[in-house]
Amino acid sequence: MSGFATRKTRRFKAALALAAALLAVSCVSQPDYYAPPEQRRPSLGPDTSRLKHYIRMNDPAAPDHILRDISETVEGDAWRWTRQRPMLRFVTPKTDGLRLVMDFAFNGETMKETGPVTIRFLVNGHLLDTVKYETEGAQRFEKAVPKEWLAEGEDAVVAAELDKVWVSPQDGNKLGVILSGAGFLD
Amino acid sequence: MPQAAYIVFGWLFTAAVSMAAGRMMLWRMGIALTRTEAAAFAFLLGSAVVSQVTFVLAASQLLYKGVLLGAGVAILGLRRWIGGGAPEEAEFDAGPRWARVAAGALAIPFLVLYLSNAMAPETSPDGATYHLGLVARYYRERGFTAITTNFYASLSQGMEMLFLFAWPFGRHSAGALVHLNFLAALAALVVCYGRRFGFPVAGLAAALAVFVTPVVGVDASSAYNDVAVAAVLFGLFYMVRLWDERRTSGSAAAVGVLAGFAYAVKYTAFLGAVYAGGYLLWRMWRKPREMARACALVGAMAAIWILPWMIKNAIIVGNPVSPFGNRIFRNPNVHVSFEEKYAAHMRNYGELESNWAIPLEVTVRGQRLNGLLGPAFLLAPIGLLALSMAEGRRVLLAAALFTLPYAANIGTRFLIPGLALWTLAMALVLSRWRPLVVVFVTAHAVSSWPDVLKRYAEPYAWALDRMVWRASLRIEPERQFLEEHWPPIQVARMIDELVPEGKRVLAWDGQPLSYLKRDVVVTHQSAYGERLERILWTPLIPELQPTRVLRFTLPGKPVRRVRARQSASGTVDQFLVSEMRLLRGGRELPRRSTWKLRAWPNIWDVRDAFDNNSVTRWASWERLRPGMFVEVELPSPTVVDAVVLEMPDEQTEARPELEWEDAEGRLTAIGGYAEHTGPPPLGMRQDAMYAVKAAGVDYLLVFVEGFGFADFNGKQQQWGIRHLSERMGYHLYAIR
Q: Is A12 within 8 Å of B612 when comparing Cβ atoms?
A: no
**CB-based contact, B670 to chain A, within 8 Å:** no
Short-list B102, B97, B106, B48, CA closest to B75:
B48
Q: Are the C-beta atoms of B185 and B231 separated by less than 8 Å?
A: yes
Contact list, A19 vs chain B (CB under 8 Å): 303, 307
In B538-584, where do the E strands start and end?
Answer: 548-553, 558-566, 574-577, 579-584
pLDDT value, residue B676? 85
Distance of alpha carbon B266 from alpha carbon B260, whole angstroms: 10
Low-confidence ranges of chain B (pLDDT < 70): 1, 84
pLDDT value, residue A172? 84
> Shortest Cα distance from B80 to chain A (angstroms)?
26
Q: Is B586 within 8 Å of A47 when comparing Cβ atoms?
A: yes
How many CB atoms neighbour CB A60 within 10 A?
Answer: 12
Contact list, B553 vs chain A (CB under 8 Å): none
Contact list, B633 vs chain A (CB under 8 Å): 33
pLDDT value, residue B625? 93
Contact list, A184 vs chain B (CB under 8 Å): 682
**How many CB pairs lie under 8 A apart between chains A and B?**
168
**CB-based contact, B690 to chain A, within 8 Å:** yes
> Shortest Cα distance from B592 to chain A (angstroms)?
7
In A20-164, where do the E strands start and end?
Answer: 54-56, 66-70, 80-91, 99-106, 117-123, 126-133, 137-144, 155-162
CA atoms within 13 A on the CB side of B17: 25
A42 band by pLDDT with thresholds 50, 70 and 90: low
Task: Give the DSSP letter of residue B33.
Answer: B
Best of B682, B686, B692, B719 to substitute, by most chain A Cβ atoms within 10 angstroms, is: B682
pLDDT value, residue A43? 44
In the sheet with B519-522, reading across from the earlier edge strand, the strands are B519-522, B504-507, B699-703, B730-735, B721-727
> Shortest Cα distance from B28 to chain A (angstroms)?
12
Q: Is B588 within 8 Å of A46 when comparing Cβ atoms?
A: yes
**CB-based contact, A6 to chain B, within 8 Å:** no
Residues of B (264-303) whose Cβ lies below 8 Å from A: 290, 293-294, 296-297, 299-300, 303
Q: Does residue A23 register a pLDDT over 90?
A: no
Contact list, B613 vs chain A (CB under 8 Å): 40-41
In SS3 terms, B56-91 reads as HHHHCCCCCHHHHHHHHHHHHHHHHHHCCCCCECCC
Q: Is A56 within 8 Å of B679 when comparing Cβ atoms?
A: yes
Q: Is A11 within 8 Å of B297 when comparing Cβ atoms?
A: yes
Backbone angles phi, psi at A157, to 5 degrees: -100, 125
Best of B316, B677, B687 to substitute, by most chain A Cβ atoms within 10 angstroms, is: B677
Distance of alpha carbon B521 from alpha carbon B506, whole angstroms: 5
Q: Does residue A164 register a pLDDT over 70?
A: yes
What letter represents residue B433's amino acid? W
Q: Who among A21, A34, A98 is closest to B606 (CB)?
A: A34
Contact list, A25 vs chain B (CB under 8 Å): 311, 314-315
Q: How many residues in chain B?
A: 736
Radius of gyration of chain A (CA): 31
Nearest-Cα residue of chain B relative to residue A38: B611
Contact list, B590 vs chain A (CB under 8 Å): 43
Q: Is A34 within 8 Å of B594 when comparing Cβ atoms?
A: no
DSSP-based three-state secondary structure for B674: strand
Q: Is B678 within 8 Å of A46 when comparing Cβ atoms?
A: yes
> Shortest Cα distance from A135 to chain B (angstroms)?
26
Contact list, B330 vs chain A (CB under 8 Å): 28, 30
DSSP B488-537: HHHHHHHHHHHSPTT-EEEESS---GGG--SEEEEGGGSHHHHHHHHHHH
Contact list, A182 vs chain B (CB under 8 Å): none
**CB-based contact, A102 to chain B, within 8 Å:** no
Q: Are the C-beta atoms of B210 and B402 separated by less than 8 Å?
A: no
DSSP A14-45: HHHHHHHHHHHHHS----S-B-----SS----
A94 band by pLDDT with thresholds 50, 70 and 90: confident
Contact list, B614 vs chain A (CB under 8 Å): 40
Q: Are the C-beta atoms of B453 and B216 separated by less than 8 Å?
A: no
Peptide bond into B601 cis (omega under 30): yes
Please provide the distance, in angstroms rounded to a whole number, between the alpha carbons at the two ends of chain B: 45
**CB-based contact, B409 to chain A, within 8 Å:** no
Short-list B330, B313, B312, B335, CA closest to B322:
B313
Nearest-Cα residue of chain B relative to residue A93: B682
Q: Is B598 within 8 Å of A32 when comparing Cβ atoms?
A: yes
Does B218 or A78 have the greater pLDDT score?
B218
Q: Who among B297, B591, B683 is closest to A36 (CB)?
A: B591
Q: Does residue A26 register a pLDDT over 60?
A: no
Q: Is A41 within 8 Å of B612 when comparing Cβ atoms?
A: yes
Q: Is A22 within 8 Å of B679 when comparing Cβ atoms?
A: no
Dump pLDDT digits (tens) for B522-551: 999 999 999 999 999 999 999 999 999 999
A129 band by pLDDT with thresholds 50, 70 and 90: very high
**CB-based contact, B674 to chain A, within 8 Å:** yes
